[in-house]
A and B are shown apart, each in its own frame.
Chain A
């Protein structure tokens, strides 16, 4: 049998996502992927769905990946990773590399949901990471199942008859957990140490794991690139993006929100995708609805 090394040389482990990628200035997704790889180390094989991360890291014939990387389609990252995991087992080489599947929120919660569900159901030993920038960014900011309520995107425009996205953000972590998998976690680029701990913990657990990382997109969120971390932090501090771990279906750990509570306005007002809510008195009622979403999260996960 061939003895090709499966993974990257050790000395490169500090920058497994090479510079020269073409993500927009201040991209949260680029930062999230850098942090995931840094935590996982070089003994990994990664897959990725079509989307910004895939596009800005693989401007053919170049690649930013310093680890084995496979891209196939928009909808099948979890299926490709399942094949990689099974192949490693068939070759008796499963101890040589961990498998990480990746996708954007659209690639994960919408078009790739079936492939992900199959991966979770079949019990593959894979960590699935969803980079949640809350819309289909790579094709020009269309709404996805993870776009938040009242958010303006190109397919949920705001105007006289619309406040933006009519639907609530899909509870993807609970959908993943409902498959009876051992580990589900949410995280945010604002808290890199937390990402590191969760990736390491997930990779130490055998079986399917799901992790969802809130990753601001300055282009789609119409936010200042310099404020990427500030924006991400406010999402967590207001309770709009609850940070938690679920082990075997039970919430075992949460990140508390600030006390006294930070009003959601603080988060909304620094992003152009919510600017319409501040332009008329009626917008106040909409902001109140968003505050109630945050309050329900605080209640549901015990974040106070």
Chain B
């Protein structure tokens, strides 16, 4: 690798890191009791929760590190953390 003075990296290229491989626990979005508060999406430090429709949210396991913040903060306890089996 050559490093010129002032190293430049292209925008958004960290998406190549599939940080989902770090996960020990996995959030399951049941999509049953969801009230659409959006807290799971807002609080996710990885930015990997998305809204499919108003009361239906999903997670991109490619990046989800399994921190459990979404499950802890969910307004309707509709997200469950399970042990990840690899």
In the assembled complex, the Cα of A31 lies from the Cα of B48 at a distance in Å of: 12
Any B CB within 8 A of the CB of A65: yes
Interface of B is mostly: loop
Query: Interface readout for B55-73 with A: 1 if CB under 8 Å, 0 if not?
Result: 0000010110111110111
Q: Is the CB of A19 within 8 A of B67?
A: no
Q: In the complex, how many residues of chain B place their beta carbon closer than 8 angstroms to a beta carbon of chain A? A: 33
Complex interface: chain B residues within 8 A of A60 (CB): 7, 9
Query: Interface readout for A209-228 with B: 1 if CB under 8 Å, 0 if not?
Result: 00000000000000001111
A38-91 CB contacts (< 8 Å) to partner B: 57-67
Any B CB within 8 A of the CB of A8: yes
In the assembled complex, the Cα of A212 lies from the Cα of B26 at a distance in Å of: 32
B31-78 CB contacts (< 8 Å) to partner A: 42-48, 60, 62-63, 65-69, 71-73
Q: Is the CB of B12 within 8 A of A63?
A: yes
Any B CB within 8 A of the CB of A21: yes
Q: Give the residue name and chain of the A residue nearest to B44 (CB).
A: A31
Q: Is the CB of B71 within 8 A of A19?
A: no
Any B CB within 8 A of the CB of A230: yes
Knowing A25-B66, A34-B47, say if A8 contacts B14 (CB, 8 Å).
Answer: no
A1-24 CB contacts (< 8 Å) to partner B: 8, 12, 15, 17-23
Q: Give the residue name and chain of the A residue nearest to B67 (CB).
A: A26
Any A CB within 8 A of the CB of B83: no
Complex interface: chain B residues within 8 A of A226 (CB): 67-69, 71-72, 81
Query: Interface readout for A269-281 with B: 1 if CB under 8 Å, 0 if not?
Result: 0000000000000
Complex interface: chain A residues within 8 A of B16 (CB): 20, 62
Q: Give the residue name and chain of the A residue nearest to B65 (CB).
A: A25
Q: Is the CB of A21 within 8 A of B14?
A: yes
Complex interface: chain B residues within 8 A of A230 (CB): 72
Which range contains the number of A residues in contact with the other chain?
35 or more
Q: Is the CB of A34 within 8 A of B72?
A: no
In the assembled complex, the Cα of A19 lies from the Cα of B63 at a distance in Å of: 6
Q: Is the CB of A20 within 8 A of B14?
A: yes
Complex interface: chain B residues within 8 A of A229 (CB): 43, 69, 72-73
Complex interface: chain A residues within 8 A of B71 (CB): 226
Knowing A28-B45, A61-B1, A61-B9, say if A18 contacts B15 (CB, 8 Å).
Answer: yes
Rounded to whole Å, the gap between the CB of A80 and the closest CB of chain B is 12
Q: Is the CB of B69 within 8 A of A20?
A: no
Q: Is the CB of B13 within 8 A of A61?
A: yes
In the assembled complex, the Cα of A232 lies from the Cα of B10 at a distance in Å of: 33
Q: Is the CB of B68 within 8 A of A26?
A: yes
* A interface, CB within 8 angstroms of B: 8, 12, 15, 17-23, 25-28, 30-31, 34-35, 57-67, 192, 225-230
Q: List 30 A-B contacts (CB under 8 A).
A: A8-B11, A12-B12, A18-B13, A18-B14, A19-B19, A19-B47, A20-B15, A20-B16, A20-B17, A20-B19, A20-B63, A22-B17, A22-B19, A25-B22, A25-B67, A26-B65, A26-B69, A27-B45, A35-B42, A60-B7, A61-B1, A61-B13, A62-B10, A62-B14, A63-B11, A63-B13, A67-B11, A228-B67, A229-B72, A230-B72
* B interface, CB within 8 angstroms of A: 1, 7, 9-19, 22, 42-48, 60, 62-63, 65-69, 71-73, 81
Ranked 10 nearest A-B pairs via Cβ: A226-B68, A26-B67, A20-B14, A20-B17, A63-B9, A19-B63, A64-B14, A31-B45, A18-B12, A30-B45
- Given contact pairs A20-B63, A192-B42, A226-B81, a sample of 14 additional A-B residue pairs in the complex whose CB atoms are under 8 Å apart: A21-B14, A22-B14, A27-B45, A28-B45, A58-B9, A62-B16, A62-B17, A63-B12, A63-B13, A65-B11, A67-B11, A225-B67, A225-B68, A226-B67
